[in-house]
């Protein structure tokens, strides 16, 4: 059962899927229509789920389920992943590359491979106060409060030069 994103409560579970690049306007329309159809049909063991989605920064698909109404099962979650994989194949996006780390720089998202992070921090392209996105938040409330975090408050702090951590 598709519901407006704003109407789902803060305890709703979220899944964030990051694309390897921004969506084109045409892709965004296709993704939006496909996700709405998916949400309208999304069920767990035959019971409709209270679901929604939003597209953030033209690069992230955020799926939401109010699990207090009915929990998402492994099969139902697999259905959403299958949809994103089919979209990925049809449009040429990659929603499952976990080697790309997002940062908000000048009000837009830039993604960098993990393999480049050490150099980016050493040359101060990225710093301890750079904003990254924590795609592992679990609830809609966490999304609002803890999705955008400073590097020093995230797992990425391990990549900071020692002097940046001490300062």
Cβ count within 10 A of residue 38: 19
d(CA 116, CA 123): 11
CB 142 within 8 A of CB 14: yes
In this predicted structure, the answer to whether residue 94 has a pLDDT above a threshold of 60 is: yes
pTM of the model: 0.88
**71 — pLDDT class (breaks 50, 70, 90):** low
* Domain extents in the chain: 5-91, 100-166
Mean pLDDT of the chain, nearest integer: 88
d(CA 15, CA 38): 14
The model's pLDDT over 103-115, given as tens digits with 9 standing for 90+, comes to: 999 999 999 999 9
In this predicted structure, the answer to whether residue 70 has a pLDDT above a threshold of 60 is: no
Determine the average pLDDT of the residues in 156-167.
Answer: 73
In this predicted structure, the answer to whether residue 23 has a pLDDT above a threshold of 80 is: yes
Determine the average pLDDT of the residues in 71-99.
Answer: 78
In this predicted structure, the answer to whether residue 91 has a pLDDT above a threshold of 60 is: yes
């Amino acid at each position: 059962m598709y519901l407006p994103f704003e109407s789902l409560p803060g305890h709703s579970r979220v899944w964030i899927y990051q694309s390897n690049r921004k969506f084109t306007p045409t892709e965004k329309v296709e993704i939006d229509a496909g996700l709405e159809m998916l949400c309208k049909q999304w069920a767990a063991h035959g019971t409709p789920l209270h679901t929604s989605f939003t597209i953030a920064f033209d690069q992230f698909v955020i799926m939401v389920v109010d699990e207090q109404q009915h929990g998402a099962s492994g099969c139902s979650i697999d259905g959403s992943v299958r949809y994103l994989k089919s979209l990925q194949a049809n449009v040429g996006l990659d929603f499952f590359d976990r080697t790309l780390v997002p940062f908000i720089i000048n009000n837009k998202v830039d993604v960098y491979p993990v393999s480049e992070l050490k150099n980016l921090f050493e040359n101060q392209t990225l710093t301890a106060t750079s904003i990254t996105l924590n795609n592992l938040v679990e609830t809609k409330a966490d999304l609002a409060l803890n999705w955008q975090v400073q590097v020093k408050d995230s797992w990425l702090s391990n990549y900071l030069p020692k002097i940046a951590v001490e300062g």
